[in-house]
């Protein structure tokens, strides 16, 4: 093994084949550019594309929405469990636990056929937002709001969190955010899901593990830290000095840089438009000015582009969403991509078991405890 090249973080290593998405010619989901999907498609259409392989017809979309509405039921025993989890617990931990709990009530849990996995995946797309919203309201001392079968996925999510009628602009912004978070090739959480499913573990196991991977601040957890940065700056007039001081002290500013995108993250560019609109609507123009200044300096000094977490944190803030929900909102969208990868792995499976390069002690003989 001494002549085998080691790549830290598996950077540049091909981990498998996929037909779900690619980053080679812009970010594409099953061949469609993310820019076109974000502008023209709803999240339900993109979820159907990722899970079923094609954009739906009008009839297929209606049937898909009906299945999501029917599958949104979360057993009352799970809601009662959410009530008993300490308020101090991370919402990501609650999402991980919630996904695992849902498996106990899923009639297809032990069936790894494509048909059963599709049914389970569709249920998770509908159920995980219910768990997210219920947890948010319980922590705030409010009762959970039941899902509304007559609302779209994004409108329903906002309704269950706020119990207020969301504006069309909020619904569109949430739709675009969910579309952009839905899938991203062999990222850390997706690869985790594929490793777990390669053992022929069930879909709920794989998604639960993926949620755990997403919690880390080097993956999905970064968006929560972004808002902390913006709030630390405080005033737009102080933003440039703040960021230059931070860079001089080699402080890492969350929300910049990406393993794959070296010049621009197209997802960040798409969300920025909605940030500006919602900032004006909510009276948060100063935060947008702070963000623009920090972005300009970091790009100029470090050549690091903002990633999708940079504008997403502001977008959620402008929609009055608690910071504790920022990464869980990633979860409820990315479950579509994770599920598509699990099904792909199960369809053409080989156990993922890489080699390791041993760097420990050389061979030695056991010494009885009396002689040590």
Active-site residue list: 258, 309
Q: Using an 8 Å Cβ cutoff, are 135 and 368 in contact?
A: no
Using CB atoms within 10 Å of the CB of residue 77, give its burial: 0 to 12 exposed, 13 to 18 middle, 19+ buried: exposed
Q: Using an 8 Å Cβ cutoff, are 79 and 101 in contact?
A: no
Using CB atoms within 10 Å of the CB of residue 111, give its burial: 0 to 12 exposed, 13 to 18 middle, 19+ buried: middle
Taking each continuous run of H as one helix and of E as one strand, the counts in the chain are 16, 3
Q: Using an 8 Å Cβ cutoff, are 46 and 27 in contact?
A: no
- CA distances (Å), origin 358, targets 10, 131, 363: 16, 43, 11
Q: Give a three-class secondary structure readout of 111-178.
A: CCCHHHHHHHHHHHHHHHHHHHHHHHHHHCCCCCCCCCCCCCHHHHHHHHHHCCCCCHHHHHHHHHHH
Q: Using an 8 Å Cβ cutoff, are 219 and 187 in contact?
A: yes
- CA distances (Å), origin 61, targets 24, 44, 297: 29, 8, 44
Q: Using an 8 Å Cβ cutoff, are 307 and 256 in contact?
A: yes
């Amino acid at each position: 093994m001494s002549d085998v090249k080691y790549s830290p973080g598996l950077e540049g290593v091909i981990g498998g084949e996929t037909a779900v998405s690619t980053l080679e010619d812009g970010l594409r989901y099953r061949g469609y550019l993310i820019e076109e999907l974000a502008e023209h498609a709803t999240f339900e259409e993109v979820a159907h594309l990722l899970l079923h392989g094609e954009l739906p017809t009008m009839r297929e979309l209606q049937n898909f929405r009906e299945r999501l509405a029917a599958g949104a039921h979360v057993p009352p025993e799970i809601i009662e469990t959410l009530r008993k989890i300490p308020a101090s617990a991370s919402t990501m931990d609650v999402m991980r636990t919630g996904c695992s709990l849902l498996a106990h009530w899923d009639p297809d849990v032990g069936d790894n056929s494509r048909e059963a996995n599709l049914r389970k995946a569709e249920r998770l797309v509908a159920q995980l937002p219910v768990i997210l919203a219920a947890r948010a309201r319980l922590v705030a001392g409010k009762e959970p709001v039941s899902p509304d079968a007559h609302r779209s996925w994004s409108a329903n999510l906002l309704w269950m969190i706020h119990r207020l009628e969301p504006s069309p602009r909020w619904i569109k912004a949430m739709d675009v955010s969910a579309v952009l978070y839905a899938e991203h090739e062999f990222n850390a959480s997706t690869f985790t899901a594929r490793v777990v499913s390669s053992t022929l573990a069930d879909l709920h196991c794989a998604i639960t593990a993926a949620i755990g991977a997403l919690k880390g601040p080097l993956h999905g957890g970064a968006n929560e830290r972004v808002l902390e940065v913006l709030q630390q700056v405080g005033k737009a007039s102080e933003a440039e000095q703040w960021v230059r001081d931070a860079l001089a002290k080699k402080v890492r500013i969350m929300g910049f840089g990406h393993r794959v995108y070296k010049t621009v993250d197209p997802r960040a560019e798409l969300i920025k438009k909605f940030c500006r609109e919602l900032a004006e609507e909510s009276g948060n123009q100063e935060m947008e000015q702070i963000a623009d200044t920090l972005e300009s300096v970091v790009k100029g000094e470090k050549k690091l582009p903002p990633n999708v977490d940079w504008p997403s944190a502001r977008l959620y803030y402008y929609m009055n969403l608690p910071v504790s929900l920022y990464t869980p909102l990633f979860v409820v969208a990315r479950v579509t991509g994770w599920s598509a990868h699990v099904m792909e792995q199960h369809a053409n499976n080989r156990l993922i078991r890489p080699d390791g390069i041993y760097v420990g002690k050389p061979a030695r003989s056991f010494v009885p405890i009396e002689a040590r």
